[in-house]
Amino acid sequence: MYTGKVRDTSVDPEDAMGTDRWVSTSMPYLTPREEGQGDAWGADAAAQGRRGTQRILHAGEVAAPAEVARLLGLAEGEAVVVRRRLILLDDRPNELTDTYYPVGIARGTGLAGTAKIPGGAVTLLARLGHVGAVVREDVIADNPDDEEREILLTAPDEPVLRLTRVTVDRKGRPLQVDRMVMPALSQRLRYEIAIGNGIG
């Protein structure tokens, strides 16, 4: 188990000059937003002079894939709620994300629909009484399937990074599983892990 992790999904600013690569950290996306704040992605992009938007491609109940069921502690094929989002940076595909929730958490809420959620899904989860305490991420390199290549507009021989994230609450109960697909050539993953009490 670990704490204090920050993920940077691009390159250092010095390396990014003259490119379309993106510099970001994960922590803002794991923390509920304050009342009246917009979603973390839009705010993060705007702070760097860019435009971050997203499209909900699908939302609703599906049968849980084997990996998702295992991470959520469910039986394979058991119903879950999924939201598929295409994350856009300056109107270009930056990430394709499927987020899965137990139906006991998401059924009948905004998580099961395609409407924009004020403050983002993490904020809505917190309002429903579900706050993440520990996050675990696994990353692999892979080739995209035909659908992913078409959606992400990757080159014919361009690989992708697949990041799977599970978020659990303080009692160890899984709240959600994110499965992200990102064009590998425009990403750099950076992790900062506090040792003991960290700095200061």
At 153 the pLDDT is 95
Give the C-alpha separation, 67 to 93, whole Å.
Answer: 25
Does residue 6 carry a pLDDT above 80?
no
N residues, the chain: 200
Residue 162 scores a pLDDT above 80? yes
Most confident stretch, 9-13, 50-54, 55-59: 55-59
pLDDT band at 141 (very low <50, low <70, confident <90, very high): very high
What is the structure's pLDDT at 98?
A: 98
CA distance 170 to 153: 39
Say yes or no to pLDDT of 107 above 70.
Answer: yes
Q: CB of 128 within 8 A of CB of 109?
A: yes
Residue 2 in this model has a pLDDT that exceeds 60: no
Q: 106 — phi, psi (to 5°)?
A: -105, -20
The residue extents of the domains of the chain are: 6-192
Q: What integer pLDDT is reported at residue 28 of this predicted model?
A: 53
Q: What's the first-to-final CA gap in the chain, in angstroms?
A: 21
Q: Give residue for tokens 């709620």.
A: 81
Residues whose CB falls within 8 Å of the CB of residue 85, separated by 6 or more in sequence, listed in order: 54, 55, 56, 57, 96, 97, 98, 99
Compare 121 and 66 and report the one with higher pLDDT: 66
Higher local confidence (pLDDT), 145 or 116: 145
The reported pLDDT for the residue numbered 188 is: 76
Residue 21 pLDDT: 56
Q: What is the pLDDT of residues 13-51, one digit of tens each?
A: 444 433 455 554 555 566 665 566 567 666 767 777 888
More confident residue, 177 or 4: 177
**pLDDT one-digit tens code per residue, 68-88:** 999 999 999 999 999 999 999
* Residue 51: per-residue pLDDT: 85
Q: Which helix (H) or strand (E) holds 121?
A: helix 121-127
| CATH 3.40.1410.10 corresponds to the domain 6-192 | yes
CA gyration radius, the chain: 17
What Cα–Cα distance (Å) separates residue 170 from each residue in 26, 132, 164, 167? 19, 7, 20, 10
